[in-house]
Amino acid sequence: MSPKLGLPRFARTPGSSEQPTPTAPSASTTIEPSTPQAPATPTEPVETPHSPSADALAKLSAYGRAVLSWVAEDGYPMNVDVEIEVKPAEGTVRFDEPAGFRIAPGTPVAITGSHIRAIPDGGFDQRRHVTVWGPAAARPRGRFAVTPGRVWAWDEADMPLPAAYERSLPKARRYFDVLSAERGELVRPKLPRGLLFFRATRAPFLSATFAPVLLGLAVAARVGMFDVLTAVITLVAASFVHLGLNVANDVFDTLQGADDANRTPTKFSGGSRVLQNALVSVREMSTLAIGCYGVAAVLGVILLILRGSPALVGIVVLGFFISIAYTMPPLKLVYRGLGEISTAIGFGPVMLLGAYTVQTRGSLSLEAFLVSVPVALLVAMILYVNEIPDRAGDASVGKRTLPVRWSKVAVIRGWDASVVASFAVIVVGAAAQVLPLPALLLLLAVPLAVRVHSGLVRFYDNPYALMDSMAANINLHMIVGLLLLVGYLLTIADQTLLGRRPFFLS
């Protein structure tokens, strides 16, 4: 159809051999992305209003034909495909009056160039469009010229789906508010309750709790102190503290504007987003946080009754304090660059020594502390790396995390130092015979650490490309914890099942 009309309906995409009607655009100012396209999605375009510019006309010039829209005399809008001619030098778009229609001079019109690429197996991609608005000024021989007064352009290649999604959330929340007001009842999006709980509490991050608690139990078991009931209670209580912390963190970050300001959240950073998605209210999230802390408190009391000791009391109090003060005013530890150290203490020595103390009825040990060091440092590094893509939003609300304060080089050096220290502590501990030799299994995680380092260097400034490294960084903590645990289980097996002195320490 297009060749008959003399000009292409759609623009050529460089490097695309599948373009069905790939005639080159006539203007030399065409701007076309050459980067890989985001997958086609049913999301709606995000309006990005900006002042009329040569850039918009250049985009429109890539379209030989466009949809001309105006409001007809009967009050209905009309849209017709027309051939357009962009005049960059005079800043106008020209078109002929469509046959069979009358457009009065001065009529406000919109001219929309729209592109998709049909995929042979079904569907389409490469969605983009540009619209300019302005009054239609009459020209000789039935032609009109529009000098754009307003522009709207969207290109899915410029804005990945997650970013487009986040930008549109405020509009969606307003829609639900209006709908709720119209109906006199709360209208909100739905998710199955189980999935909603899973997402709101960020339950997958519980591995950060399992690692130190299980290790604390293992270290205690190696010295012959292990009780199943209190071990289970400890694990469940620590998990609920963690879930409560996650939920409270979302509440306070939302109330202080940090999560709303974050336009580049990933599945590892930026919170659960259940509040931003209007899936729950702040009140419901607050109730959930209180509920999680409540369960943890009850279980904590039970542990104190069963295995109470001054050391355990101190650890429980410190754990609750860090958890609550993490984002809650006035302390807001994470807003003051203390998030990493708080996380390290809470998810390292507090949990590991806490679990150990419950089993040993109040004892503390150098061995348990040393084992907690890599767990502490690496869990702090989860937060630290996850804060990298959040740093712009965090900075805008005064959340002064370390990635906000430090340069890229300093942040990566900080990560390197923490990871090296994590490995070094275990090596030194094993060499000094404080730790069993199988603890050195954690060195198997060195290649993973190298991979994370490379990812940080390459993708520091690209939140979505950084996601693989963020996932690997989380895995590093989990795998180091697992390798240490395997090392301890081997040692315990050697001691107990074989009924002799630990081979690995001999």
Partner 1 sequence: MVDAALVGELTVIGPDGNPITYPMVPLLWGDRIFLTSSVLDSAKIAHVKANPRVSFSVTNPDGLGTFTGMVTIQCDARVSDDDLHAGWERLLPNWTRKDPATVGLLKARVGFPLIFERVLIELTPRRTWLWPNGRTDRAPQTTVAAEVAR
Are the C-beta atoms of residues 200 and 280 closer than 8 Å to each other?
yes
Q: Is 77 in the site for partner 1 (CB under 8 A)?
A: yes
Nearer residue to partner 1 within complex by CB, 152 or 488: 152
Closest CA to 462 of 40, 163, 200, 239: 163
Of 202, 213, 208, give the one whose Cα is nearest residue 299. Answer: 213
Maximum distance among all alpha carbons in the chain? 104
Q: Smallest gap, in angstroms, from Cβ of residue 164 to partner 1? A: 8
Euclidean distance between the first and the last CA atom of the chain, given in angstroms as a whole number: 85
* Contact status: 179 vs partner 1 (CB under 8 A): yes
Residue with Cβ nearer partner 1 (174 or 458): 174
Of 139 and 453, CB closest to partner 1: 139
Asked if 42 is part of the footprint of partner 1 (rule: CB under 8 A), the reply reads yes
65-71/124-138 β-pairing: unpaired
Among 15, 35, 73, 99, interactor with partner 1 by CB under 8 A: 99
Compute CA distances 485 → 344, 434, 438, 444, 447, whole Å: 19, 16, 9, 13, 19
Distance in Å, CB of 91 to partner 1, minimum: 19
Does 106 bind partner 1 (CB under 8 A)? Our answer is no
Q: How far apart are CA 381 and CA 416, in angstroms?
A: 10
Verify binding: residue 9, partner 1, rule CB under 8 A: yes
Exactly one of 100, 120, 184, 330 binds partner 1 (CB under 8 A); that residue is 100
Encoded one letter per residue, x for contact with partner 1 by CB under 8 A and - for no contact, window 287-326 reads ----------------------------------------
Among 16, 29, 69, 365, indicate the residue that binds partner 1 (CB under 8 A): 69
Q: For partner 1, which stretch binds (CB under 8 A), given 188-196, 211-219, 298-306, 418-426?
A: 188-196
Minimum CB distance to partner 1 smaller for 162 or for 339? 162
State which of positions 195-214 bind partner 1 (CB under 8 A): 195, 199
CB of 123 vs partner 1, minimal distance in Å: 5
User: Burial, 227: exposed, middle or buried (Cβ in 10 Å; 0-12, 13-18, 19+)?
Assistant: middle
Helices (H), 207-227: 207-222
Q: What is the DSSP letter of 243?
A: H
Q: Is 47 in the site for partner 1 (CB under 8 A)?
A: yes
Q: How far apart are CA 26 and CA 44, in angstroms?
A: 29
Q: For partner 1, which residue of 24, 26, 31, 39 counts as binding (CB under 8 A)?
A: 39
Q: Which amino acid is at 173?
A: R
Of 31, 81, 420, 493, which lies in the binding site for partner 1, with binding defined by CB under 8 A? 81
Best CA proximity match to 278, nearest among 189, 370, 392? 189
* Residue from the set 55, 96, 158, 227 that interacts with partner 1 by CB under 8 A: 96
Q: Which one of residues 23, 29, 70, 163 is an interface residue with partner 1 (CB under 8 A)?
A: 70
Window 117-176: residues binding partner 1 (CB under 8 A): 117-118, 121-125, 127, 129, 131, 133, 161-162, 165, 168-169, 171-172, 174-176
Site for partner 1 in 258-287 (CB under 8 A): 267, 277-279
Of 186-194, 336-344, 466-474, 477-485, the window that binds partner 1 (rule: CB under 8 A) is 186-194
Q: Which residues contact 500 (CB under 8 A, 6 or more apart)?
A: 494
Q: Does 13 bind partner 1 (CB under 8 A)?
A: no
What would the DSSP string read from start to end of 289-357? Answer: HHHHHHHHHHHHHHHHHHH--HHHHHHHHHHHHHHHHTTSTTT-GGGGT-HHHHHHHIIIIIHHHHHHH
Q: Quote the CA–CA distance of 96 and 339 in Å, as a whole number.
A: 63
Q: Is 2 in the site for partner 1 (CB under 8 A)?
A: yes
Pair 274, 285: CB distance under 8 Å: yes
The least CB distance from residue 129 to partner 1, in Å, is 5
Distance CA 386, CA 378 (A): 12
Q: How many residues bind partner 1 (CB under 8 A)?
A: 72
Q: What is the torsion angle, in degrees rounded to the nearest 10, for the CA atoms of residue 231, residue 233, residue 237 and residue 239? A: 60
Partner residues linked to 80 by β-bridges: 68
Return the number of the residue (243 or 334) whose C-beta is nearest partner 1: 243
Which residue's CB is nearer to partner 1, number 39 or number 224?
39
Query: Which CB, 176 or 406, lies closer to partner 1?
Result: 176
